[in-house]
Amino acid sequence: MKNVGRCTLFALQFFLAGIAIAATGAESLQKCLDMQGQAASEDTLECYNRTSQDLLTKKHPKSFRIARDRGIAEEWVPSDEPVRVYKQNYFLIFAHSSNPNNTPTSPNPDNQVPFTYALDNKEIKFQISLKAHLAGSGRHALWFGYTQLSFWQAYDREHSSPFRENDYEPELIYSFRPENVGLAGFTASFLNAGLVHQSNGQAIPRSRNWNRFYVQVGIERDFGEYGKLALQPRWWRRLGGNAVDDDNPDIIQQLGNGEFEARYYYRQGVLSAIARIHSLQLDLALPAPRVLGVLIQNANFHLQYFNGNGESLMDYNQRHRSYGLGISMPFE
């Protein structure tokens, strides 16, 4: 019952957003219906126009406009909004792993995790990623970003459906957006520099963490009716680490010194890829089916495939394949 209650609570959070918008729309529409025969026809028509515009605004709030229309540089324009979308936000209701990591290891003897029980190869995986504008204006801005990646063994009722891993990633980001810089058909959209900490928040022997400084560039090319391509390579340097008591001294050898992200926007869909030295993750987001779209606002149907090591911090040196399906929020 505990597992069912958790799932129900999470689902309700999504459903309530759609219900609230539907209720607001019904109330406004009823006011227009009541005006018929009681007010001038021009006033009644204006009521219907106003109601439709309000519903469109609520259904597609500014925070979730797609970058295909505005360009990825607009993701880093200083904003008065309290928070904005950062990386992908998704909820995979079903994720399957080819090789669950039952005994996580590290070169540090204190970080060898003994076998307790066999993990379920089916779980729920979700990521929440937001950012907030702290300071700056014009082409320069300072941001705070936060990303949380979670792996929930929701289908393992025998062991009370535990969360096997939560990876927390706060970061401080300086962003600069150049003007009229292009090369070979691509436009330079932004240059970011950041300080990031990533940790799973656990005690030894399960503790994994590292700190990095990184530089990231964003370039894009618009192909008109054939879509838009955005490339966002990122290079990093680990800060500290390699000490005798380091939780994961070989993390650079396993995850490399950077990653390459590519997004291709075509019509209402987005295909993205994130490649590292020993891994590849592919994500496909498509408009949600009509029934799902009515209940969940701003939702995409989401497919994900991962191959390599480093899907989570605990699995930084463990190789496996996984795939999942669920829903996601569109990129800005």
pTM attached to this predicted model: 0.79
pLDDT at 1 over 70: no
Is 302 one of the annotated active-site residues of the chain?
no
pLDDT at 15 over 60: no
Q: β-strand 300-309 against 89-97: which pairing, if any?
A: unpaired
At 251, list the tokens.
């993390």
Is 60 one of the annotated active-site residues of the chain?
no
* Residue 180: predicted pLDDT: 76
For residue 136, which of 171, 170, 174, 172 has the smallest C-alpha distance?
A: 174
Whether 123 contacts 164, CB under 8 Å: yes
* Residue 182: predicted pLDDT: 78
pLDDT at 158 over 90: yes
Marked catalytic residue, from 60, 96, 197, 278: 197
- The rounded radius of gyration (Å) of the Cα atoms in the chain is 23
Q: Which of 33-37, 142-146, 215-219 has the lowest mean pLDDT?
A: 33-37
* Residue 13: predicted pLDDT: 45
Reduce the DSSP state of residue 46 to 3 states and report it. Answer: helix
Reduce the DSSP state of residue 299 to 3 states and report it. Answer: coil
The mean per-residue pLDDT over the stretch 6-25 comes to 39
Give the Cβ contact number of residue 185 at 10 Å: 10
Marked catalytic residue, from 63, 199, 278, 320: 199
